[in-house]
Amino acid sequence: MTRKLYIRTFGCQMNEYDSAKMVDILGASEPIETTEQPEDADIILFNTCSVREKAQEKVFSDLGRARDLKAIKPNLIIGVGGCVASQEGEAIVRRAPYVDVVFGPQTLHRLPDLINARQDTGRPQVDISFPEIEKFDHLPAPRVEGPTAFVSIIEGCSKYCSFCVVPYTRGTEVSRPSIDVLTEIAELAQQGVREVTLLGQNVNAFIDAHASIDFTGLLELVCEVPGIERVRFTTSHPKEFSARLIEAFARLPKLASYVHLPVQSGSDRILAAMKRGYTALEYKSIIRRLRAARPDVAISSDFIVGFPGETEEDFEATMRLIDDCGFESAYSFIYSPRPGTPAADLPDAVSAEEKLARLQRLQARIDQNSRQLGESMQGSEQIVLIEGPARKNPQELMGRTSNNWVVNFAPSSQEAVGDFVQLRIEAALPHSLRGAPL
């Protein structure tokens, strides 16, 4: 019998990637079909995020709904994976006894065994251990969906920023052997993938000590894989954004002109309290040198507003940094205290209203930058990789520029998904561009 699987994913691209792997791993052990309707499912999985309190609380409200479904369908399997699972472990089963399996980001490959054990023993199963890189040795060959793919190159994080739970939920940095990464990319390319995004919390901490290959070395090799025409990576950390990596943007044309480089704050006092390991000036120097190496590079970032003790002056320093760097886009968040992290114990005098006002000012400035950048691309010619039909109009196609802008266009005739085509940019909308084939 084919079982139906519903997965609800919260949080970052790592979680999106892990969810795709859950489908693959369950599909390799039994006939599985995915569904968008939780009511139809035989297995419901929540891939959770604990980076902010809101995301964490959302999981428990959604779990309540799954419990109602289980009341109607007693054989329904409910699983909780991801960072909340990793942090809470057994406590999830205590709080929600109808949950059948709890697994962490590093044990998702054990999902079929955990579900079987649940069925055999009648008891909920919890496995949130960190068996290092074992996960990848047990994953089936990657499935290809379209001309782009994500490839995880490093798991976990060893930076211990004072506000962040990730090092505790995903474990410390462990790189995959470069030969495994390259083999996976070659297999993807053989199946028609033209663009890969190398994935990790801090991809530029990647190291294959055995083969003496650092992150830049890996990029060089990935660019050599036949069939791969464009290479992206996310997320990188300013602390390890080496001169060698910057210089790679001048000599590796397949590297996309886009870098997501979280800065968090423009105040050195706050950056030190966050334990980020760089100053605002050092960050700006990276951006300046990167633009010298690759003039059309677009930079996006992450910001935390209202970190404990952030004064108006600190916030102004962040706004100045935004003006200096001209970010193409950004994710920005109000600081959310996370249990078990050092910053959670710091005194915090700034009111919630003030934090929200700062967030809105910051977002307005980024939106303004983003609009200006979009408008500056009008009239230019851009090469896009066609990813599929346009979201709003399936008669049209959607492609992405090297600097990560989505471009929708009416095809002339011969363009197909997976092709790189040259477009003239005719109009800039708030979050996308319109183009026409040349």
Interacting residues with ligand SAM (CB under 6 A): 12, 51-52, 163-164, 166, 201-202, 235, 237, 262, 264, 302, 304, 333, 335-336, 338
As given in the structure block, the two tokens for residue 415 are 């363009």
Interacting stretch for ligand F3S, rule CB under 6 A, among 115-123, 159-167, 215-223, 351-359? Answer: 159-167
Contact partner at residue 167 from ligand SAM, ligand F3S, none, CB < 5 to 8 Å by partner kind: ligand F3S
Q: Which of 80, 108, 164, 366 binds ligand F3S (CB under 6 A)?
A: 164
Q: Which is nearer to ligand F3S, 159 or 355 (CB)?
A: 159
Q: Which is nearer to ligand F3S, 204 or 408 (CB)?
A: 204
Contact partner at residue 317 from ligand SAM, ligand F3S, none, CB < 5 to 8 Å by partner kind: none
Minimum CB distance to ligand SAM, residue 304 (Å):
5
Minimum CB distance to ligand F3S, residue 386 (Å):
33
Q: Which of 72, 79, 117, 126 is nearest to 98 (CA)?
A: 79
Q: Which is nearer to ligand SAM, 12 or 317 (CB)?
A: 12
Contact partner at residue 333 from ligand F3S, ligand SAM, none, CB < 5 to 8 Å by partner kind: ligand SAM
Q: Which residue is nearest to ligand SAM (CB)?
A: 302
Minimum CB distance to ligand SAM, residue 126 (Å):
23
Binding mask 52-91 vs ligand F3S (x if CB under 6 A, - otherwise)? ----------------------------------------
Binding residues for ligand F3S (CB under 6 A): 157, 159-161, 164, 166-167, 201-202, 237
